[in-house]
Structure 1
Amino acid sequence: MSLPSNQGSAAPASSPTDLSKKGWFIKFLNIVERLGNLLPHPITLFAMFCLAVILISGVAGYFELSVVDPRPEGAAGRSPDGLIHVISLMNGEGLRMIVSNLVTNFTGFTPLGTVLVALLGVGIADRSGMLSAAMRLLVIGASKRLVTVVVVFAGIVSNTASELGYVVLIPMAAMIFHSLGRHPLAGLAAAFAGVSGGYSANLLLGTVDPLLSGITEAAAQMIDPDYIVGPEVNWYFMFASTFLVSIMGAVVTEKIVEPNLGKYNPEDAAIDLSAQQMETVTPEEKRALKLAGLAALAVTVVIAALVVPEGAPLRNQTTGDVSGSPFLKGIVAFIFIGFAIPGLVYGKVIGVFKKDKDIIDAMSENMSSMGMYIVLVFFASQFVAFFKWTNLGAVMAVAGADALSAIGLTGPLVFVLFIAMCGIINLSLGSASAQWAVTAPIFVPMLMLIGYAPETIQAAYRIGDSVTNLITPMMSYFGLILAVACRYKKDLGIGTLIATMLPYTLVFFVGWVSFFFIWVFALGLPVGPGAATYYTP
């Protein structure tokens, strides 16, 4: 699907009239945008954080800052005097640690390898055209009555292939709504709500799962050195959240956003709308999708045979359970296989993969887009390691947990504040991995100390990280969305787009947080396979 030529151009600023119409919240969000623009690049930010940790550890070490270690006597990592001391990196020993571990900090950073391996499989499925064809078939084939909920749902599941939802689905949704006589910006908003507002939800495990779980595991090990957090630990909750967000997104679109947009005037468009054409799914693509679906089914059957029966080779050989099994520990390998094999079948049938070099090129092209992420991981991994070595994270976590206990805020209500805080931080630091790498080393240990499991904490974070994606210009694809919107309303500004998406953020926050409380605390359901709700040392 072709994109408008102005998508790479700078986003037009909101006019004063636009701001006055939309009220105080647009003015507030524009202040957030300006403040966000003052922040350095996330990579630079992590480099600065590394230097800050070194300096702060030196000062705190000089004054011998310490807190009482809450772990029981004899626990792994507990010092003989029962205190957690800040370790200074501003000395010879600190310099030796930094220099000798610089490479291993990077190569041993858990999210790096797991994300890259998963993306190799996703790359095959994406470059073969399978994911794009499946999305087009899902959305274009939807009935008029269900088209809104299908668009939102397709946006959520598109997150398994990074930019696919932004590049393919959002422009297509606007075209579909226009072809049905509905406002095209309502279609764009619905797709944007699914792709970005429902970012963490999905039916399948995707690349974001190992990315976040690796950071969570490193943070949890500040309190419990043996704690393991697998990529699958939020799957149950995120699977169910997919349907919740789809319904909420459809209701907001049809009951709030579309009526507020009013009747569409084609004269507002910056392009000739009659020239727009949607790429339908060809018979050959449908045949390839059927065969790819059969391949996916075959893969599922083989994996089930290796996991489900009692005594199966991929079960935990000690306990016989699925919990703690090689299957769950190696889930990234199955994400790779689950995308790669159907993608190979589709590519072969459609003629995209004619020889082995085509498959290698597909994986290589996907890896080439990860350059920025790899550089980010280098600095983020150093920050996480420095934070752990100095004990600053543990000291801050203990102090924070003591403060929460002192004011009596240790019950489930603490998660409302935590999710809201994550959403606010997301307004200025849009990357899920960058934000979690900064906040996890503080808040995971802190909330563990007042009794909550890392898996539950991570699930709560994912809500906050998702719901404000829709209203922050710091989100990497915000300019792209604005450019697509300007095709249908040539004078549309940032303020108008943010005001259009704000109802989704508010409804998603209230609805998703309520669902989290019902799921976790009212029903006592685990957020994922083998995931605990409460942490017991």
Structure 2
Amino acid sequence: MGSATKLRQDKKSLFQKCLDGIERVGNKLPHPITLFSLFCLAIIIISAIAAARGLSVKAELINRATNELEVQTISAVSLLSREGIIYMLENAISNFVNFAPLGMVLVGMLGIGTAEGSGYISALLKKTVAVTPAALVTPMVVFLGVMSNIASDAGYVVLVPLGALIFMSFGRHPLAGLAAGFAGVSGGFSANLIIGTIDPMLAGISTSAAQMIDPSYTVQATSNMYFMAVSTFLITALGWFVTDKIIEPRLGTYSGNSNLSAEDKNLQNLSDKEKKALKVTNLTVIAMLVGIVIVVMMPNSPLRNIDIEATDGFMASIINNSPLMNGFVLLIAIIFFVAAVVYGKVSGQFKNEKDIGNELGKSMASMGSYIALSFVMAQFVNYFSYTNLGTILAVNGANLLESMKMNSVVLIIIFVLFAGFINLFMGSASAKWAIMAPVFLPMFMKLGISPELTQIAYRIGDSTTNIISPLMTYFAMIVIFAQKHDKKAGMGTLISTMLPYTIVFLTGWVLMLIVWMTLKLPLGPGAGLVYTM
């Protein structure tokens, strides 16, 4: 018995040593700003070499401007040419200003940061502690992270930092809560119980690619609904297991500084003033949410995409490229800001409008590191796109995979792994699929694999490696969130923390896909596994 226990401990120790080694190596990397600056320099040099050698690929790809298939020759573009130097000089500011995560994060923090400074979030967390069973905190955070994907990227800004605070309110390690939230939001990006903004986007690209073989074929936004709904519970369960059994034991007891005051760290009952302020604020938030629902239900609502309602239905007009979804982060910021003002006034935290203005400034000041990092990240992402290196990598990899002769199950599994690998170099799910769909969908259709199944395989690979890719646009922001609770945290800390999620999610999701294919279950309404020519 003692030998068996010792063996289990040794195995656990070996695994922990591997993760600790990854963390040490990762944290020895330069500061993220320096690292991405070096990445930019590397892209400049590599692009010049690739262009000088005439590196190019020819493939039938979707023109994202016209959404039509075209035979295109994609050549490497040098950033050291006259045109490349002009591009870098003239577009540095626009690359920074138009960097999508920057505006989303800053706008979201205007509301969330102010709500945190007013005391509203800490009071809400105390209430959460009082009504939520401690055993269900982890699955709640992971599940909410998965469900936040209906609003596209809003979960990164809202749910991930709140996950850390929720765990801290329960006396648990905040980085475990941050990891659980990040795993749900990013690792489970494709899962959801209802259609999200990514579904119609991918379906449109899939339809264009499928029509290369069958001009009448249409991939619906609901084509992956059944599989993704079940995946929601799978990711929640796997995230729960990894957080409680692997991540939190490795992190140990939290002893660092927190964003909550000493009074807020404990789980004591709310004071009478806090109870009154929280009640008034929660009623205000509910009233705002009800107001939004009423506006959405109104005829010709400004929050719905009226243009598609007649063809795709009422629910599609709410989700598919609607003002509600496109402005979701701003609405969240407004709701949190109003809640902060109400709570601050009732509780006495805010005496006048100057206090509110000062708190807004503090919220922005806390994001100074992220703003500086966003500048170099924006340049890198745009350099990668401008030079065509990412497209060339994806197409050449696809051609290699196409040359392999194997059965459909093995081919799908390899495709999942390939999509996950490509995801380490290209962040945008839709951009990667616009490159890969015209290559893989027709190829797999010829082998009898349905476009819906190919799309599912892509989404699994795309989701599971998000959480370990430093090139994912929100990755650096999560590092900044982690540093609020552990000043020594770096990219190595985050990668070593999230790697077990990637391994378990990828393994569990692939096994589920194999079972799904074995049982020949439909992927969504009218969406099967097999395509017949």
The verdict on a shared fold, with TM-score over 0.5 as the criterion, is yes
Amino acid at match of 1:296: V
CA displacement, residues 164-211 of structure 1 (integer Å, 9 cap, x when unaligned) = 543x44444347xxxxxxxxxxx88975763454454899xxxxxx9x
CA displacement, residues 384-430 of structure 1 (integer Å, 9 cap, x when unaligned) = 2112221112211211222222226896535642586599x7xxxxx
> Cα 1:153–1:397, aligned 2, differ >3 Å: closer, same or farther?
same
Superposed displacement of residue 139, structure 1: 1.9
Specify the alignment match of 1:394 in structure 2: 391
In the alignment, does 2:136 pair up with 1:149? yes
Specify the alignment match of 1:524 in structure 2: 523
In the alignment, does 2:294 pair up with 1:305? yes
What is the CA–CA distance in structure 2 between the aligned matches of 1:153 and 1:131, rounded to whole Å? 17
What is the CA–CA distance in structure 2 between the aligned matches of 1:467 and 1:100, rounded to whole Å? 32
Superposed displacement of residue 342, structure 1: 2.4
Superposed displacement of residue 62, structure 1: 1.3
Q: Residues 467 and 505 of structure 1 are in contact (CA less than 8 Å); yes or no, is this contact kept in structure 2?
A: yes
> Cα 1:477–1:376, aligned 2, differ >3 Å: closer, same or farther?
closer
Give the aligned CA root-mean-square deviation in angstroms. 5.3
SS of residue paired to 1:280: coil
Specify the alignment match of 1:182 in structure 2: none
SS of residue paired to 1:39: coil
Q: How many residues align?
A: 438
In the alignment, does 2:364 pair up with 1:375? no
Specify the alignment match of 2:96 in structure 1: 106
Aligned with 1:194 (options 169, 180, 195): 180
More moved, 193-202 vs 113-122 = 193-202
Amino acid at match of 1:352: Q
> Cα 1:77–1:353, aligned 2, differ >3 Å: closer, same or farther?
same
SS of residue paired to 1:132: helix
Specify the alignment match of 1:417 in structure 2: 417
Specify the alignment match of 2:358 in structure 1: 361
Superposed displacement of residue 131, structure 1: 1.8
What is the CA–CA distance in structure 2 between the aligned matches of 1:341 and 1:519, rounded to whole Å? 46
In structure 1, the gaps of 5 or more residues are: 1-16, 176-186, 204-209, 225-233, 426-434, 484-493, 527-532
Q: Residues 280 and 342 of structure 2 are in contact (CA less than 8 Å); yes or no, is this contact kept in structure 1?
A: yes
Identity of aligned residues (%): 32
TM-score (normalizing by structure 1): 0.64
* Aligned pairs (5 A) from 1:16-55: 20=10, 22-55=12-45
Amino acid at match of 1:363: L
> Cα 1:250–1:277, aligned 2, differ >3 Å: closer, same or farther?
same
CA displacement, residues 334-354 of structure 1 (integer Å, 9 cap, x when unaligned) = 122232222322222222222
Q: Residues 53 and 386 of structure 1 are in contact (CA less than 8 Å); yes or no, is this contact kept in structure 2?
A: yes
In structure 2, the gaps of 5 or more residues are: 1-6, 146-155, 190-195, 210-223, 257-262, 310-316, 442-450, 471-477
Amino acid at match of 2:417: L
Specify the alignment match of 2:122 in structure 1: 132
SS of residue paired to 1:84: strand
Superposed displacement of residue 379, structure 1: 0.7
Superposed displacement of residue 149, structure 1: 0.9
In the alignment, does 2:465 pair up with 1:464? yes
SS of residue paired to 2:465: helix
CA displacement, residues 203-228 of structure 1 (integer Å, 9 cap, x when unaligned) = 9xxxxxx9x99xx99xx9xx99xxxx
> Cα 1:240–1:480, aligned 2, differ >3 Å: closer, same or farther?
farther
> Cα 1:18–1:51, aligned 2, differ >3 Å: closer, same or farther?
farther
Q: Residues 125 and 343 of structure 1 are in contact (CA less than 8 Å); yes or no, is this contact kept in structure 2?
A: yes
Aligned with 2:53 (options 35, 38, 63): 63
CA displacement, residues 41-100 of structure 1 (integer Å, 9 cap, x when unaligned) = 222121111111111111111122211032269975999984111111212221111111
More moved, 193-202 vs 234-243 = 234-243
TM-score (normalizing by structure 2): 0.64
> Cα 1:61–1:116, aligned 2, differ >3 Å: closer, same or farther?
same
Specify the alignment match of 1:341 in structure 2: 338
In the alignment, does 2:274 pair up with 1:285? yes
In the alignment, does 2:87 pair up with 1:97? yes
Specify the alignment match of 2:445 in structure 1: none
SS of residue paired to 2:74: strand
> Cα 1:335–1:379, aligned 2, differ >3 Å: closer, same or farther?
same
Amino acid at match of 1:89: L
Specify the alignment match of 2:212 in structure 1: none
Amino acid at match of 1:94: G
